[in-house]
Structure 1
């Protein structure tokens, strides 16, 4: 159980970094900001659908958190460039 809470805490911290990086991109404006806004919405919808489907098929909450963390880390790397 402690490992699950640690993973959730890390997901929260990493997510906040991605939110900050995305806000900086959106504030800059231009075509890249529009693309990022569209990407953000489509990613969130896809991730939520995937998580719900996984849980309905019997996946553990821990595996869902791991999946979210992979996606968040990928976004953090991409936005940090």
Structure 2
């Protein structure tokens, strides 16, 4: 296994920080939607739970089959792409008018 360069690790760390910030925004948006009640609140709560389970199953399946590669960098990169895409999609959906 090759060692990754410090710049690669720094890049992964920065992307992880970005994902954390964006996930915090989505948590706030979802909390606001659920707290405001109405028909959309229950649908959002249900969607949130099912999305989390599906993402967990997807990530674990890919990890167990080795489709993310074997290096820590390739696994981290793939997981950041998977979860980052889902978080971005939720942010766009929740901020749309």
Q: TM-score range with shorter-chain normalisation?
A: over 0.9
CA distance in 1, matches of 2:10, 2:24: 21
How much does 1:54 deviate?
1.3
Could you state the TM-score of these two structures normalised by the residue count of structure 1? 0.95
Q: Deviations over 1:11-36 (max 9, x none)?
A: 10000000000011011101100000
Q: Identify unmatched segments of 5+ residues in structure 2.
A: 1-8, 69-74
Gaps of 5+ in 1: none
Partners of 1:17 and 1:76 within 8 A in 2: yes
Quick one: which of 36, 40, 60 aligns to 2:44?
Answer: 36
How many residues are treated as equivalent by the alignment? Answer: 81
Larger Rg: 2
State which of 16, 21, 26 in structure 2 corresponds to 1:8.
16
> TM-score, length-normalised on structure 2?
0.80
Indicate yes or no: 2:76 matched with 1:68. Answer: no
